[in-house]
Structure 1
Amino acid sequence: MNNCESEEIVEAANIAISNLLPTKSRSLYDIAYNRTGDGYQAKKSKILTKSEIDRFLSSADDKEFLMIKVGLILGIAGACRTDELVNLTVDDIEDFAASWQEYHGKISSVVASYLKLPDVACYTGHCLRRSSATLLADAGVDITTIKRHAGWKSTTVAEVMSRTPLKIRPKLLIRF
């Protein structure tokens, strides 16, 4: 293989890698990746456990927390991004959407607060998505299914989001 072919392979690999990140996340990723490290510390949303979810659903009063319960169920079952929950319409859920905007970004923190979990502010809108992936991983669901469920292309992202690294990592073999 000559040097020109090697450069073409490297360029093709770089293009493939750049397409792994969803367009919506690209600008945020670029900002975080290009930081010089001066005081910046990445923040990850915490994850609700199955027992915490069960405890909230069974003990929180429906009169006060019904919307949060529904949002929690939808967010976990659908591995939803915050904007996916925000953009629900009446066509998606009848008799529910009218009050939805009030709760969209607060579901995880309301649940964490109710359960008296530490660091309530760390239960962000991304918590439901990460919790969904983690619950699937904890139940023994394979990484490919988790990636498909959440819409992730990258195995590494799925591992990080689900807190469940693979025991055997695939190897990428490129010879130059």
Structure 2
Amino acid sequence: MAKNYKPSTLWTQYSMVKSCLIIYDNIDISKFPKLIVFLKRTGDGYQAKKSKILTKSEIDRFLSSADDKEFLMIKVGLILGIAGACRTDELVNLTVDDIEDVGSSLIVKIPNTKTKIPRIFVVTDVGNMLELFRKYLSLRPPHVKHKRLFCTTKQENPVGKNTMGKIPSVVASYLKLPDVACYTGHCLRRSSATLPADAGVDITTIKRHVGWKSTTVAEGYVENSIENKTKIANQVLVGTTTSAITKTVNVSESNIPSNINFENCTNVTFNLNVNK
């Protein structure tokens, strides 16, 4: 084989193993059912190490408290990485031409992705995110020949993949979070998928946002989200449900109630129709 794999990880990386065997040894592993069963058994109980994620409060705390003189590039990388669920190499290859500032927001294009499907995402004017991006862009010297957005301290040479991949660990170190080394380059993408899952966003929307083809991966984020687990706990322990209930109250000038009481309600939507 072209690459050595641990027995416990062979099944979890089946597609990679299959591709390597076909390319280097011209062997189609799918034609050996007994071997596939063996690989599945060796992979039982194995759990791949996943990067830790940054919470919304941790992101906001870093953006508001870290000094721009030292952390401006880190802040912009964090903003774009979280907003667009970007991989490290996508941030590295991002150019100034890929970002359009339309005043109220930034429209960012990721032309080259791992799945070969271009993505577009938007950074809205939340907090001072647009201000941070514009400040960083204004520091770019006019004589720089390359188009890469992220540059070194002197704003001349493009930032490499290793530096970009350390953005989450730099943030975690500044915030004095435990296990700093566990905040890898994949942290930005995982955080970008977990935050909407915790907010109750549906699977289809998360797939479109992150650019996944597989529903199984997206389901894992929704299933493990704190918001989703809280809803299940309420249904199991308290007996509350999330089914929709419609209540119509007819009010006229001669029949205006002094108050309307709602009890034990969550995620309530009021639709008011005023007829004159």
* TM-score, scaled relative to structure 2: 0.45
8 A contact 2:85–2:210 mirrored in 1: yes
Match of 1:111? Answer: 171
Aligned residue for 2:73?
67
The CA RMSD over aligned residues, in Å, is 3.3
Find the counterpart in structure 2 of residue 9 from structure 1.
none
Structure 1 runs, 4 residues or longer, greater than 2 Å off: 25-31, 33-37, 89-100, 159-168
The percentage of counterpart residues that share the same residue type is 78
Q: Number of aligned pairs? A: 143
1:104-143 residue pairs with structure 2 within 5 A?
104-143=164-203
The alignment partner of 1:75 has SS state of helix
Deviation (angstroms), 1:30: 7.8
**Which one of 16, 37, 40 corresponds to residue 27 of structure 1?**
16
For structure 1, list consecutive stretches of 5 or more residues without a partner in the other structure. Answer: 1-24, 169-176
Deviations 1:112-131 (A, max 9, x none): 01011111111111100110
- In structure 2, the CA distance between the partners of 1:27 and 1:64, relative to structure 1 (3 Å rule), is same
User: What's the counterpart of residue 83 of structure 1?
Assistant: 89
Structure 1 or 2: more helix by fraction: 1
In structure 2, C-alpha distance between the alignment counterparts of 1:27 and 1:145, rounded to whole Å: 27
Pairwise CA distance, 1:156: 1.9
The structure with the largest strand share of the pair is 2
Q: Matches of 1:48 and 1:80 in 2, distance apart?
A: 14
SS class of match (1:146)? helix
- Matched to 2:166, the amino acid is K
Using CA pairs below 8 Å that are at least 6 residues apart, which structure has the higher relative contact order?
1
CA 30–48 in structure 1, closer or farther in 2 if over 3 Å, else same: farther
Mapped to 2, the partners of 1:68 and 1:161 lie a distance apart of: 26
* Aligned equivalent of 2:63: 57
- Secondary structure of the residue aligned to 1:91 is helix
Q: Which has the larger radius of gyration?
A: 2
Q: CA 1:29 to 1:160, structure 2 compared with 1: closer, same or farther past 3 Å?
A: farther
Q: Give the deviation of 1:79 after TM superposition.
A: 0.4
Change (3 A) 1:72 1:26: farther
Aligned to 1:101: 159
**Conserved? CA contact 2:82–2:188, under 8 Å:** yes
